[in-house]
Amino acid sequence: MQTTKTIALVANTTWNIYNFRLNVIRKFIAEGYSVIVFSPIDEFIHYKKEFSNVQHVSINSLDRDGTNPLKDLALVLELKRLYQKYQPDLILHYTIKPNIYGAVAARLVRIPSVGIVTGLGYSFLHKGLISSISRWLYQISLRYHKKVIFENQDDRMLFIEQGITKEENSISIKGCGVNTKHYIPLSSEKSRKTIFSFLGRLLYDKGIQEFAEAAEIVKRDYDDVEFWLVGDIDDQNPASVKKEDILAWVKQGIVLYHGSTTDVRTFISESSCIVLPSYREAIARSLTEAMAMERPVIATDVAGCREAIKEGCNGYLVKVKDANSLAEAFVSFIHLTHDERAEMGKNGRQMVLEEFDDRLIAKDIYNICRDILNPIQRH
């Protein structure tokens, strides 16, 4: 009688599991696997209501943004103990610290693992000692994974070119996917104004400064346009936008700040276009969610954004860190007819269905894991 295989998913927050990994959990369960989730428990543990048969184990020593080597050693030891106790057949690691320290822990207990690079993060993107250490730790640990999965091709090529991972041991997929049954086209925006919206964490690395500067340029010549900010101020992130900057933009009438939300669909449906002037992404969910709801998009021509946009077809690509380039794209969009905007939206939805649907992404990850486990099953 064949024993049920167990897959473990490891992430730095349960928020990450809830927002980005449920499609993978559903796929493995549908294929007859048992699933264990390892992550620090937060308010998003309510995902267990849907997955009562998924075992959730809390990680206590994971300091998401800390740089204390003793705490990181404690994380390795805790993960080693947990992996040894629960003995999954394969471990999927998401986010930076699980990718690095989880790889070491899995190697110590001889359990095969996969590293899934979901984005490079602040410490990797900003030059300095922390960036150098991050690269060095990646270079050491990624060799322990059976496969390294990147959520876009640019990140994969960067790691290969810098000698951090090997080409034959890596593969890229189209992000984490978007639920096309949840994000569906809704009625067109009600306002007669053209509304450009940014949805996401309010970080300078996301291009918030350029968004505000471009908005100020456009509003000098156009009255029937609004610029919305929707998202959290992430005080734990060094790139977090200063509250006084947001206050100044609001007071000057440049942007409207709507705070954070647990459901972006209302804001997407009320917007004319979704904007992400980010410096780098994995595959930007704010773009693919908007596309799934038939909204045109504008983003920077960088990793994680360019893969989601076909110029002039479903949106526009602009130069990174360039408010003037962004303002030009805003003006080009303002001049589109209603039918041209609608056509862009439909093109985006079709692109998501063909490339970014979360069921397609889950299938890709499942197939990679199945190929890793098959040799184990044969012995």
The H or E element spanning position 76 is: helix 69-86
* Domains assigned to the chain: 6-177+358-378 (3.40.50.2000), 194-356 (3.40.50.2000)
What crossing angle do the helices spanning 208-219 and 243-251 adopt, rounded to 10°? 10
77 vs 282, more confident? 77
pLDDT at residue 376, as a whole number:
47
| Predicted confidence (pLDDT) per residue in 1-19, tens digit | 357 899 999 999 999 999 9
Q: Give the residue from 174, 118, 166, 89 showing the smallest Cα distance to 361.
A: 174
Q: How confident is the model at residue 67 (pLDDT cuts 50, 70, 90)?
A: low
| pLDDT above 60 (res 69) | yes
Whether residue 199 contacts residue 269, with contact meaning beta carbons closer than 8 Å, is answered with no
| Predicted confidence (pLDDT) per residue in 82-140, tens digit | 999 999 999 999 999 999 999 999 999 999 999 999 877 656 666 667 778 888 888 99
The pTM of this model reads 0.89
Mean pLDDT score, 28-47: 96
- Say which range, 55-59, 150-154, 211-215, has the weakest mean pLDDT: 150-154
| Predicted confidence (pLDDT) per residue in 221-279, tens digit | 999 999 999 998 877 777 889 999 999 999 999 999 999 998 999 999 999 999 999 99
DSSP letter for 187, please. Answer: P
pLDDT at residue 235, as a whole number:
77
The H or E element spanning position 303 is: none
Mean pLDDT score, 201-216: 95
| Paired residues of 257 in beta bridges | 229
pLDDT at residue 71, as a whole number:
84
Q: Which two tokens stand for residue 164?
A: 């951090």
Cα 364 to Cα 114, 118, 303: the distances in Å are 13, 15, 20
**Pairing state of beta strands 297-300 and 34-38?**
unpaired
Q: What does the alpha-carbon distance between residue 137 and residue 99 come to, in Å, rounded to a whole number? A: 10
pLDDT over 90 for what percent of the chain?
A: 81
pLDDT at residue 185, as a whole number:
95
Q: What does the alpha-carbon distance between residue 75 and residue 312 come to, in Å, rounded to a whole number? A: 47
